[in-house]
Amino acid sequence: MTARLRLHAFFLAAATAFWMPLDASAQGAGGDAKVLRLVVGYAAGGAADAVARAYAEQLQTAGFANVIVENRPGASGRLGFDAVKRAKADGLTLYLGSSPMFVIFPLTYRKLGYDPDHDLRPVAVVADVPTAAVAGASQPYGDMPAYVQWAKQARGKANLGLATLGSPGQLGTIEMAKQNGLQVEPVVYRGAAPMLVDVVSGEVSMGWDAVASMMPLYTGGKLKFLGVAGSRRLPMLPDVPTLLEQGYPQYQHASSWYGVYAPAGTPDAAISALEQAFLAAGKNPALVAKLQASGFLVEPRSGADAKRRMETERAHWAPVVKAAGIVFDE
């Protein structure tokens, strides 16, 4: 057994040990073990769902526990957040959420309805999520400069499909549109899948979401990427230029990431065991290969790193939100 596999086995054994004392009370009449619920605030088939199911499969295969993924789409992920916030703090109900809920929403919503710093405890960062602007394959533009020129002549037809209201991609587009004299109307959906249906059909002129959500339609010839966020091209899309390369620096920090969170009050021992289990699962070569092939970058990090990243990114976006005067009531 290699050193990496031995470490992997050690972490999973440590995580499983936390639930061992619970076995007597956890057994139902039929002898069923406790179930670990991983709640996703978005519809099945999207990027968050793909990450959740990849981790659930790995944790379950490794003998961590019975793991189920529960989709609770709505309110840009907030319905799932609320369900986990109200769950018993026993380490058996977790939330897999995107970073805008913890970074952008506190800056943009007048009445957030939750405390991103205290209602849930970060367990781990499980995947970085490259994001991109995309259009239907039949659209006459193939990059962002061409889209901007088209939008100037579109007479109010330019719009932006979003799976999350107030995402970094939306903020970048607001800034881009302002600097180019455009009006791009946001259209928010209950997940990436329904949004992309309208992008493919041309009902929506441009979509913004995780690359992972769009890769199958891209490889199938239904979509084309107008450009990716960040300062470097992606290994899975080496021929697609960054939006920064194309002259649009507003999108340099517009990517996001997924973290796993537990209800406030979850014991430290449970948080530690969960963290180690997710970090170990995220280093499994099969999981890494599977998610990277789908458009994710997998470099799992601790709950402490998740908290620091939330604070740093919130500080970056705060002046952008203030300058743009972005406020959502609900």
Nearest residue to 279 (alpha-carbon basis) of 256, 305, 255: 305
184 CB-side CA count, 13 A: 30
pLDDT of residue 5: 41
Structural element, H or E, at residue 162: strand 159-162
Q: Which has the closest alpha carbon to 265: 96, 93, 64?
A: 93
pLDDT along the chain (330 residues), means of 10: 42 40 32 79 88 93 82 89 96 94 92 93 96 97 98 92 86 92 91 94 95 92 97 91 96 92 96 95 94 89 96 90 82
Q: Are 225 and 218 in contact (CB under 8 A)?
A: yes
3-state secondary structure of 303: helix
The pLDDT score that the predictor gives to residue 11 is: 36
- How many CB atoms are located within 10 Å of the residue 227 CB? 23
**Angle of CA points 12, 13, 18, to nearest 5°:** 100
pLDDT for position 52: 96
Buried b (16+ CB within 10 A) or exposed e, 274-295: bbbbbbbbbbbeebbebbbebb
Instruction: Say what the pTM is.
Output: 0.75
What integer pLDDT is reported at residue 64 of this predicted model?
A: 67
pLDDT for residue 166: 76
